[in-house]
Chains A and B, each alone.
Chain A
Amino acid sequence: MPSHDVLIIGAGLAGQRAALAAAQQGANVAVMSKVHPVRSHSVAAAGGINAAIDPTDDWRSHAYDTVKGSDYLGDQDAIEVMCSEAPEEVMHLEHIGVTFHRNDRGELDLRAFGGASMNRTAYVADITGQAILHVLYEQLLKHSGQVDRFEEWFVTGLVADDDGRCCGAVARDVRTGRIEAFSAKNVILACGGAGQAYYPTTNGLIVTGDGIALAYRLGAPLMDMEMVQYHPTTLVENGLLITEGARGEGAILLNSDGERFMERYAPNKRELASRDVVSRAEQTEILEGRGVGANKDGIYLDITQVPRKRILEALREIVNVGRDFAGVDITTEPIMIRPGQHYIMGGVKTDVDGATPIEGLYAAGEVACVSVHGGNRLGANSLLDTLIFGRRAGEHAAKRAAAMAMPTVGHSHLRDQEAMIAQILARPTGGRRVSAIKAELGATMNKHVAVYRDAEGLNTALETVKRLREEAATAHIDDRGTVFNQDVLGAIELDYMIDCAEATVVGAIERTESRGAQFRTDYPDRNDEEWIKHIELRRGDDGPDISYSDVTFTQWQPEVRTY
C-alpha cells in the first residue's frame, strides 16, 4: 500500500505549492489528481496575483481592501497572514521562474484590479494562472525524487481511523480502473471549487466539488457556502471568462443607451469596484431593460479604449477568446458579456495553517474556507490564497508528520469503495441520464441561487436539489469498462456536486440578509447586528446541520461599503 507523510489531492496551484513546501520540509509527499496537473483549473486564472510589493504600497492597505471586499465577513487574522506574506511569495515565484511582466525599469509591473486602492497585481500577460501552474509543475519535475505524482487518479473516498483522524484515501486509476488505498499521515485537499454545479459557469468541466464533498462526508464543516461569486464579465454566448484584467487595462462597460452606467453605481471606482458590486449593477441594468443583444440580456464590454499594441501584448488570450468563441475582434468592437458563476468563497473550514477541524485533514485553495474572501473575493486574490495557504498547509502537515507513525488503511475501506463502483456499474438502464440531471442542477442553481435571490426561489431550488439527489442514485450510465471510464466518474462527480449545491442553497436560505455576493431581494440590507457570523454546515441525517461561528476582527470595524 502506498504510504506517504503527506498525500495531496488535487494538483492545481494550491496542491502543487503544498507538495513543494512539504517536500522542502523533508516530508515524503504524493500529489494526486484526476487530471494531469497542468490541466487543473488554476490554468484558467488570467489576470494576476495581488501583493503589496510597490515601495509606496503597504500590505495593510491590501488587507483593508480585502476586508472591505469581503463585506466584513472575512476573518481578519487570516487576511493579515495572506496579505503580509504576499510579497515574499510573489518574489519566490519570480525566483523559481514565473515570467512576470516588467515595467521599463525591469521591475515587476503592476496592473490595476477591482476593489484595490492602488495597482498591486503582478501578471504574465493574461495567462498568469497558466504561467504559475506550469512553472510549479517544472519544479515538481525537478523534485521528482521527493514528490510522487499520481496523475489521472480519481479519489472516491477519504478514510478516517477509529479516533476520527484522517489517515488516507481510496482512489481509482483512471487509465486502468484499478482501485487502491493510500495511507497517509496527513491528507491535504486541494481540488478546487464546485462551479460545475452551475450552468453556465466559467469553471472547467472538472470543477465538480470533489474535495468539498469528500470532506463533508468525513464530517468536516463547510463554511460560507452561500457566498457564490458571479464574475462581471463572462461571455453571453457560453459563459467563458473575460479577465478582469481587461477593465484593469481600461475597458469600460456600456448599457443599451451607450451609457457608462458604473458611474451611477460606483462613482469612484466605476468598472473597478469589487465584483459583487459590478455584477449586481449589470444585472440591474439587464432587469430594467437596458441590456444589449437580441434578448437584451447582455452588457457591452468595450476594450477598444485600450491601445491595440497593449491589448496584443497584455490581453492576448481574450483576443483569442473573443475571436474563437464569440466571433468578435475585441480590438475593434465591444463584446457582449454578463455576470456568470465563477468562484465559491465558501468551502471546507480551515485555520490559517490549512488545518480542518478533523485531525490529519487539511484543505487549501478554492476547496477551503479560511475565510479570507468572506462574502466576496477580490480579483487576483484567489491565486494568492492558493499559494499562501497551500504552502502553509504543506509545511504544517510535514511538521505534524515528522512526529507520528504511519497509519494503515484497513482493507474494508478499499472493499467499500470497490463495492460502490461495482454498484454504479451494475445499475440497470432506464434511469435518467447523468447529463440530464446535471443540466437541470446547473440551470436551477443559476436561476434561483444567483446574483439576486429570495426565499421562494431558494426553496424551489432546495426541493429540486433533493429530487435530483434521488434521481442521481439510479442515474443511467453507458460505459461498463475499466479503462478511462468517464461515465462512472461522471456519476460520482454528480453526487459531489449535489452535496455542494445543497449546502449552498441551505446557507443562502439561512442568511436572511444581503452581504457580499448574497443579495436577498426579500432582505435587501446588510444586517451587522445579527449576521456578522459564519454559517457552518455539517452533514446530518436529512441534509446539513446548521451552526454558527464568529468572524475574527483585528483592526477594521464594519463600515458602509461604497466604491
Chain B
Amino acid sequence: MAEFTLRLRRFDPESGEGAYWEQHTVQLEEHHSVLEGILQAKAHTDGSIGIRCSCRAAICGSCGVRINGEPGLACNTHLDHAREASIQAGSDGVIVVEPMGNMPVIKDLIVDMDAVHWKKIRRVTPWLINRQPVPEREYIVERESMVDVTQTMACIQCGACVSDCLSMEVDPGFIGPAALAKAYRFVGDPRDDQHFERLNDLADDPLGIYDCTHCFKCVQACPKEVNPMGQIMRLRRLAGSDHDIEDPNNGRRHEQAFTTLVRGYGLLHEAELLPRSYGGDSWFGKFHPAAGKELLASLPVVLKGLIRGKVNPKTAAFGHKLPKPALDAVRAIFDRVEGKGHSTRAERHELNLYVTGYDEDEPDGHAHEGAAPTPGRQGDQQ
C-alpha cells in the first residue's frame, strides 16, 4: 500500500461558481490505476465526484481524462507512473486529473462528447456502403485486409486524441483524428463501394485530411495504438497516389512538391516549396498565376526573414543539397517506402504494425509503448 494524492478538477454546473481544484489522498497499491484512485475518493469521501467509467480494462472508452496534462484513460494509467510523471514535470508528485480538452465540460471530469466527437464521427458517413452484388455468404477478401482495418476498428471512441488535437484547437471545424481514423476503416475495407467518393469528399473539405499538421499528439494520446495520424496519412496517400485526387486545398500538390524537393536535394528547399505547392510541382511552378498570388501574399514574411537573417539569399535561391552519399541514403529511403519507382500499391512499404507485426529480432517488441515489465514484478503484486 502506498499513499497518493490526486488533484481533481471539479466543476458543478448548478453552483454558478467556476471550476476549482480539490485534493484527495488515497491508499492503494502502486500499480493500481488512477481510476481506482478516483473511485476510492468517490466511495469513501465524496460521492458527488463525476466521472464516466465502466469496464476498468481499457475497452469501453468511458474514462478519457487528462492526467498531468496528458490525455489518456484513467483506468490504464498506473498511480506510480502518474506520480513519477508529475515529479518529472517538475511538480510535487501530486497527480493532476482534469477533463479532456476541445470538448465542453458537463460536470467535473465529464465532457460533452456529443457536441464534438460524435458529431465529427457522423460527418464521415460512418457505415459500410456495400460493394455490389452482396454475396450470399461472406465477401471473399484478402486475409491481411481485415487485420489491417482491425487497427481502426480497435478505436474505443474515448476521445483522448480529440482532446489534444492541435489542429482542432485552432480550427474547431477540423474533422479530427478519431473521425478520420474511422473513415480509414471504410476506405481500407475492400467490401466498401465508395472508396473514391469518400476520399474525394475528405480531400475536398478544407477541414478534411489536409488540415492535419502532423503534430503526433493523437498518436501519443491513443491508448489503443490506433495511430490516427498514420491513418490520415494513409488516406492522403490513397487519395493522391492511388486515386489521383486533385484537391482545392493544394494538399496533394504540397506533398508532391515536398517529396520532389527532398528526393532532389536530400533536404527541404523552402523557397521552392510554396510556388510548387500552388503553381505545380516543377521549377516553372512559380510562374503559374495561382502561385503568383500566394507569393505576393507571403512577401512580407520573406522580407522579414531576410532582414532578420533567418534566410540567406543564396540558399533561398538555389537551395542546399546534401553530399552524394547522404543524398543516396535519403533516396534509398524513398525507394524502400514507396516501392522502387513509385510503382503499384502492393509493392509499397506498409507502415502498419497490425499487418506487418513487430520485428521478431527486436528483444522487446513493444518497449516503445511504455514501461516494460521489470523482472520479479509479478511477485511484487501477489
Complex interface: stretch among A217-225, A275-283, A322-330, A395-403: A322-330
Contacts of A35 in B (CB 8 A): 52, 54, 62
With A294-B379, A329-B373, A478-B47 as contacts: A240 and B153 at CB distance below 8 Å? no
Is the pair B57, A101 in contact by a Cβ cutoff of 8 Å? no
Contacts of A135 in B (CB 8 A): 128
Q: Classify the secondary structure of B's interface with A.
A: loop
Q: How far is the CA of A298 from the CA of B381 in the complex (A)?
A: 12
Contacts of B369 in A (CB 8 A): 323
Complex interface: stretch among B84-92, B134-142, B250-258, B302-310: B134-142
- Chain A residue at smallest Cβ distance from B191: A97
Q: How far is the CA of A138 from the CA of B147 in the complex (A)?
A: 19
Interface string of A12-41 (1 = CB under 8 A from B): 000000000000000000000001101111
Chain B interface size, as a band, is: 35 or more
Is the pair A43, B360 in contact by a Cβ cutoff of 8 Å? no
Contacts of A329 in B (CB 8 A): 372-373
- Chain B residue at smallest Cβ distance from A143: B127
Contacts of B43 in A (CB 8 A): 433, 435-436
Q: How far is the CA of A482 from the CA of B122 in the complex (A)?
A: 29
Is the pair B48, A481 in contact by a Cβ cutoff of 8 Å? yes
Q: How far is the CA of A355 from the CA of B138 in the complex (A)?
A: 31
Is the pair B378, A326 in contact by a Cβ cutoff of 8 Å? yes
Interface string of B1-44 (1 = CB under 8 A from A): 00000000000111000000000000000010000000000111
Interface string of B365-381 (1 = CB under 8 A from A): 11001101110011111
Kindly identify, within residues 417 to 440 of chain A, every residue whose CB is under 8 Å from any CB belonging to chain B.
433-436
Is the pair B57, A325 in contact by a Cβ cutoff of 8 Å? yes
Interface string of B135-179 (1 = CB under 8 A from A): 011111111011101100110110000000000000000000000
Contacts of B13 in A (CB 8 A): 483
With A205-B54, A484-B107 as contacts: A97 and B47 at CB distance below 8 Å? no
Q: Closest CB-CB distance, A60 to chain B, in whole Å?
A: 20
With A97-B128, A483-B13 as contacts: A237 and B62 at CB distance below 8 Å? no
Q: How far is the CA of A95 from the CA of B141 in the complex (A)?
A: 12
Q: Is the CB of B287 closer than 8 A to any CB of chain A?
A: no
Q: Is the CB of A528 closer than 8 A to any CB of chain B?
A: no
Q: How far is the CA of A291 from the CA of B139 in the complex (A)?
A: 47
- Looking at A43, A99, A324, the one whose CB has the most chain B CB atoms below 10 A away is A99
Q: Is the CB of B130 closer than 8 A to any CB of chain A?
A: yes
Contacts of A94 in B (CB 8 A): 138-139
Q: Closest CB-CB distance, B160 to chain A, in whole Å?
A: 15
Is the pair A99, B153 in contact by a Cβ cutoff of 8 Å? yes
- Chain A residue at smallest Cβ distance from B379: A294
Q: Closest CB-CB distance, B10 to chain A, in whole Å?
A: 12
Q: Is the CB of A321 closer than 8 A to any CB of chain B?
A: yes
Is the pair B57, A240 in contact by a Cβ cutoff of 8 Å? yes
Contacts of A103 in B (CB 8 A): 143
- Chain A residue at smallest Cβ distance from B53: A205
Is the pair B47, A487 in contact by a Cβ cutoff of 8 Å? yes
Is the pair A484, B54 in contact by a Cβ cutoff of 8 Å? no
Is the pair A479, B134 in contact by a Cβ cutoff of 8 Å? no
With A95-B130, A478-B48 as contacts: A325 and B76 at CB distance below 8 Å? yes
Q: Is the CB of B56 closer than 8 A to any CB of chain A?
A: yes
Is the pair A481, B373 in contact by a Cβ cutoff of 8 Å? no
Q: How far is the CA of A91 from the CA of B138 in the complex (A)?
A: 6
With A99-B146, A320-B58 as contacts: A106 and B373 at CB distance below 8 Å? no
With A39-B60, A106-B142, A481-B12 as contacts: A336 and B48 at CB distance below 8 Å? no
Is the pair B357, A313 in contact by a Cβ cutoff of 8 Å? yes
Kindly identify, within residues 190 to 208 of chain A, every residue whose CB is under 8 Å from any CB belonging to chain B.
204-206
Is the pair B14, A482 in contact by a Cβ cutoff of 8 Å? yes
Is the pair B150, A125 in contact by a Cβ cutoff of 8 Å? yes
Q: Is the CB of B202 closer than 8 A to any CB of chain A?
A: no
Kindly identify, within residues 314 to 365 of chain A, every residue whose CB is under 8 Å from any CB belonging to chain B.
316-317, 319-321, 323-329, 331, 333, 336
Q: Is the CB of A104 closer than 8 A to any CB of chain B?
A: yes
Total of A-B residue pairs, C-beta within 8 Å:
201
Is the pair A97, B44 in contact by a Cβ cutoff of 8 Å? no
Q: Closest CB-CB distance, A360 to chain B, in whole Å?
A: 30
Q: Is the CB of B319 closer than 8 A to any CB of chain A?
A: no
Is the pair A479, B138 in contact by a Cβ cutoff of 8 Å? no
Q: How far is the CA of A259 from the CA of B150 in the complex (A)?
A: 36
Q: Is the CB of A309 closer than 8 A to any CB of chain B?
A: yes
Is the pair B382, A294 in contact by a Cβ cutoff of 8 Å? yes
Is the pair A486, B50 in contact by a Cβ cutoff of 8 Å? yes
Q: Is the CB of B207 closer than 8 A to any CB of chain A?
A: no
With A105-B140, A328-B373 as contacts: A130 and B59 at CB distance below 8 Å? yes
Q: How far is the CA of A237 from the CA of B30 in the complex (A)?
A: 13
With A39-B60, A293-B382 as contacts: A95 and B53 at CB distance below 8 Å? no
Is the pair B60, A240 in contact by a Cβ cutoff of 8 Å? no
Q: Is the CB of A44 closer than 8 A to any CB of chain B?
A: yes
Q: Closest CB-CB distance, B369 to chain A, in whole Å?
A: 8
Is the pair A108, B47 in contact by a Cβ cutoff of 8 Å? no
Interface string of A222-256 (1 = CB under 8 A from B): 00000000000000111011000000000000000
Q: How far is the CA of A61 from the CA of B358 in the complex (A)?
A: 39
Contacts of A36 in B (CB 8 A): 62, 113
Q: Is the CB of A169 closer than 8 A to any CB of chain B?
A: no
Is the pair B146, A204 in contact by a Cβ cutoff of 8 Å? no
Is the pair B127, A241 in contact by a Cβ cutoff of 8 Å? no
Is the pair A43, B146 in contact by a Cβ cutoff of 8 Å? no
Contacts of A44 in B (CB 8 A): 55, 57, 59-60
With A95-B134, A141-B122 as contacts: A312 and B52 at CB distance below 8 Å? no
- Chain A residue at smallest Cβ distance from B15: A481
Q: How far is the CA of A39 from the CA of B118 in the complex (A)?
A: 13
Contacts of B127 in A (CB 8 A): 96-97, 138-139, 141-142
- Chain B residue at smallest Cβ distance from A97: B128
Q: How far is the CA of A204 from the CA of B358 in the complex (A)?
A: 32
Is the pair B56, A124 in contact by a Cβ cutoff of 8 Å? no
Kindly identify, within residues 102 to 122 of chain B, every residue whose CB is under 8 Å from any CB belonging to chain A.
106-108, 110, 113-114, 121-122
Is the pair B142, A484 in contact by a Cβ cutoff of 8 Å? no
With A38-B61, A309-B360 as contacts: A479 and B140 at CB distance below 8 Å? no
Contacts of A142 in B (CB 8 A): 127
Q: Is the CB of A127 closer than 8 A to any CB of chain B?
A: yes
Q: Is the CB of A175 closer than 8 A to any CB of chain B?
A: yes
With A44-B60, A483-B13 as contacts: A327 and B377 at CB distance below 8 Å? yes
Q: Which of B44, B55, B106, B379 contacts A41 (CB 8 A)?
A: B55
Q: How far is the CA of A96 from the CA of B106 in the complex (A)?
A: 34
Q: Is the CB of B46 closer than 8 A to any CB of chain A?
A: yes
Contacts of B377 in A (CB 8 A): 327-328
Kindly identify, within residues 455 to 512 of chain A, every residue whose CB is under 8 Å from any CB belonging to chain B.
477-479, 481-487, 490
Q: Is the CB of A308 closer than 8 A to any CB of chain B?
A: yes
Is the pair A124, B150 in contact by a Cβ cutoff of 8 Å? yes
Q: Closest CB-CB distance, A118 to chain B, in whole Å?
A: 18
A to B CB contacts below 8 Å, 23 in the list: A35-B52, A43-B156, A97-B128, A99-B146, A107-B138, A124-B150, A124-B153, A131-B150, A141-B126, A175-B106, A204-B55, A205-B55, A312-B357, A316-B154, A319-B366, A321-B57, A326-B381, A336-B378, A435-B44, A478-B46, A478-B48, A483-B106, A484-B110
10 closest A-B pairs (Cβ-Cβ)? Answer: A435-B43, A97-B128, A294-B382, A479-B48, A204-B54, A478-B47, A106-B140, A487-B47, A138-B127, A327-B377
**A-to-B contact residues, CB < 8 Å:** 35-36, 38-41, 43-44, 53, 91, 94-97, 99-109, 124-125, 127, 130-131, 134-135, 138-139, 141-142, 151, 175, 204-206, 236-238, 240-241, 293-295, 298, 308-309, 312-313, 316-317, 319-321, 323-329, 331, 333, 336, 433-436, 477-479, 481-487, 490
**B-to-A contact residues, CB < 8 Å:** 12-14, 31, 42-44, 46-48, 50, 52-62, 76, 78, 106-108, 110, 113-114, 121-122, 126-128, 130, 134, 136-143, 145-147, 149-150, 153-154, 156-157, 185, 189, 191, 224, 354, 357-358, 360, 365-366, 369-370, 372-374, 377-382
- Given A96-B127, A107-B137, A323-B369, 4 more pairs with CB closer than 8 A: A101-B147, A125-B154, A433-B43, A434-B47
